[in-house]
Amino acid sequence: MGPSHPPFRFTKSRRLVRGIRRRIAATAGTLALAAGLVAMGPQASAAGLTQVTGFGTNPGSLSMYAYAPDTLAPGPLVIALHGCTQSASDYYAHSGWPKFADRYGFALVLPQTSSANNANSCFNWFEPGDSSRGRGEALSIRQMVDKAVSQYGSDSRQIYVTGLSAGGGMTANLLAAYPDVFAGGAIDSGLPAYCATTVSAAYTCMYSPPDRTPGQWGDLVRSAAPAGTASWPRVAIWQGTADTTVRPANATELRDQWTDVWGIGQTPSRTENLSGGTTLTAYDDASGRPAVEVYSVAGMAHGLAVDPGSGTEQCGATGTYYLDTICSSYHTVRFWGLDGHDQGTGALPAPTGVTVAGTTDTTAALSWNAVPDAASYTVYRDGTKVGTTGSTAYTDTGLTAGTTYGYTVAAVDSAGAAGAISATVTASTTGFAPTCHTASNYDHTVAGRAHQSGGQTYANGSDEPMGLWNTNTRHTLEQTAPGYYVVADSGCPA
């Protein structure tokens, strides 16, 4: 599933070009993985998904499918792009997005490409004629947005786009080309915007993305956007550490690209351990709100992170390239604020002077200035409500040692309406929390957990031998202290 098929356009002879595409696909072999041609398995049907026609000139020859839940209300709109050889209904059935559309009442649009556009039904993310503003597939998706806003009453200020692999590559390009349309995006196992404009460059981006400076990556976005753009989408980046199709280095380059666009640098505002072996690293804007978030899923191969189940934070169904780790859609919804957790509704101002009074291995104590007319205060940890208090102090408990958390506070009036959210403050608990990481020797070195010398791999800190430096040899490493890893193949206590 990865990026997509070589860039060919239908001109005078559609049959000839289609034949060329098929011959290239047939000879690509394992390079199909690197260029985003991985088969996604059989297409699945899903009740509730409806095809929408007449959405514009459709220069990219895409199909528009949509889901409008019974709870639909004027508000956000989410565009979700499938991976190669997938369909809109397949992505609808597995990704988990319908669950949150039902819960929060927003509309979903699932664009679908076909083998007529690309031999393996990949979005042509690396084809300038399909991924630039006002052209091809990108323009077709833009027209779908307009149709959905008109048909479902969606708020044009709350349009979001997400995509897997080839769809992730197209998502990055759409965010760059249309920052005036999309308020946020999520790039799942994808690539930096405009990493490639040829098929050979696509292979390079997948396996060994160019190590450009943040400024160089950011310039690719700025040059694709309308002149004078000053407001940028908020971007979530999802990547498995054991992905051999889209190398984890792509997530680093994506981070560099979008933090540079935001002008916020590459130093994390905080890091948090989530379920499914996932590490969240957040980069806040000047107001303390996350602008870029990177979700690194330990041991996950190429695919979309799902977590089947009926729990609040669970979603999706497993399948080929739908991997049982963590519900990425849930965390993306929260990052975008579609659940309303970061949107105050009352008239009270945001509390000022929020400070961290102290921390232990498991607690963080906070204090802030009183807000006139406040009946109580709600405290949020990393965007999740963790407590309510009638005073101007709160101690959060049950935390993990050696972990950084972000806190915000909102004043609540006597009618129960929460006011504006305060700026974020970070609190780091004392101590150290051991972690486990299972990956190939190559990916361990990329992630900074090991190093190689003479073709052999050694754990950082302990220097324990791990064997050949390649993608086939795998080990579990336990981090027992900062920068210190030991081989834990027989069992990782953490």
Count the Cβ atoms, other than its own, within 10 Å of residue 71: 11
CB neighbours of 379 closer than 8 A, spacing ≥ 6? Answer: 366, 385, 386, 387, 388, 389, 394, 396, 407, 408, 409
Query: What is the rounded (10 degree) CA torsion for 189, 192, 194, 197?
Result: -50
The CA distance from 311 to 424, in Å, is 28
DSSP 420-484: EEPPPEEEE-SS---EEEEEEHHHHHHTTSEEEETTEEEETBT--EEEESSSS-EEEEEEEETTE
Count the Cβ atoms, other than its own, within 10 Å of residue 227: 6
Look up tokens 């430096």; give the residue: 469
Task: Look at residues 398, 303, 296, 410 and name the one whose alpha carbon lies nearest to residue 41.
Answer: 303
CB 394 within 8 A of CB 366: yes
Count the Cβ atoms, other than its own, within 10 Å of residue 339: 16
DSSP 68-125: --TT--SS-EEEEE--TT--HHHHHHHSSHHHHHHHHT-EEEEEE--TTTSTT----T
Task: Look at residues 281, 272, 276 and name the one whose alpha carbon lies nearest to residue 323.
Answer: 276
Strands 184-188 and 234-240: parallel
Look up tokens 């040692």; give the residue: 401
Asked about 114 being catalytic, the answer comes back as no
CB neighbours of 248 closer than 8 A, spacing ≥ 6? Answer: 239, 240, 241, 296, 443, 446, 447
Catalytic residue among 95, 121, 165, 440: 165
- Known catalytic residues? 165
